[in-house]
């Protein structure tokens, strides 16, 4: 007359349920391990890319992070992470090259500056100059020059009452729109807003 709950009354039902729970836990552990393994592979790939770009610090940090992820996977072997010394790669520009190039950039921020001419000053090909400059300064020649133009513009905005259109020209930029676009990208706000905020703080 009544239905029996065989899963609760029969010992076999309890065993089956326990086995199902165990399989579920094993499946979840497998998913977690696979996720960690995927993340570790991503970190290793990024470390390899950084090493190929001659960024030893970034590569070492990525390798350590991948090692931590692999340690979290049960049974994964612990492999020593060898630190890559900063001076393991070829050096950048020689001191005289760097001084000459930076001095030329500072003296010519109001005019166009060509990579080819900078390379000639350093007595290198354009390709090798770009690589050496990035190693020495930490950014490309173009990005360094643009940052210095914006820093010069900031100085003029604080020390003069020149309109932004004139400041743009004085910093070697095409026009005010060029200044605004570049300024927003590097500083994070428009030059007008940046100047106004500092004028108000000095008032």
pLDDT in tens, 120-132: 999 999 999 999 9
109 and 196 both lie in a single domain: yes
Judgement on whether residues 124 and 195 belong to the same structural domain of the protein: yes
Give the pLDDT confidence score for residue 199 in this predicted structure.
84
pLDDT in tens, 2-35: 344 444 444 455 555 555 555 454 555 554 455 5
32 within a domain of the structure (yes/no): yes
Look at residues 52, 67, 88 and tell me which one is the last residue of a structural domain. Answer: 88
* Tally of domains within the chain: 2
Q: Which residue has the higher pLDDT, 102 or 84?
A: 102
Residue 51: domain span: 6-88
Secondary structure of 122-136 in the HEC alphabet?
HCCCHHHHHHHHHHH
Task: Tell me phi and psi for residue 171, to 5 degrees.
Answer: -105, 15
pTM, 2 dp: 0.56
């Amino acid at each position: 007359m009544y239905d029996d709950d065989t899963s609760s009354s029969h010992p076999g039902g309890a065993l089956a349920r326990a086995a199902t729970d165990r399989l579920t836990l094993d499946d979840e552990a497998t998913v977690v391990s696979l996720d960690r393994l995927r993340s570790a592979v991503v970190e290793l790939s990024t470390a390899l890319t950084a090493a190929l770009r001659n960024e030893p610090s970034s590569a070492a940090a990525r390798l350590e992070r991948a090692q931590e992820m692999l340690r979290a996977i049960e049974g994964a072997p612990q492999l020593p992470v060898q630190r890559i010394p900063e001076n393991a790669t070829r050096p950048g520009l020689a001191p005289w090259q760097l001084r000459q190039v930076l001095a030329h950039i500072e003296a010519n921020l109001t005019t166009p500056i060509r990579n080819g001419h900078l390379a000639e000053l350093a007595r290198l090909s354009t390709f090798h100059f770009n690589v050496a400059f990035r190693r020495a300064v930490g950014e490309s020649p173009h990005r360094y020059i643009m940052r210095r133009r914006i820093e010069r513009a900031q100085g003029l905005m604080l020390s003069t009452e020149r309109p932004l259109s004139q400041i743009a020209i004085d910093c070697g930029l095409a026009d005010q729109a060029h200044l605004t676009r570049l300024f927003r990208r590097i500083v994070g706000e428009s030059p007008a807003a940046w100047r106004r905020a500092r004028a108000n703080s000095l008032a």
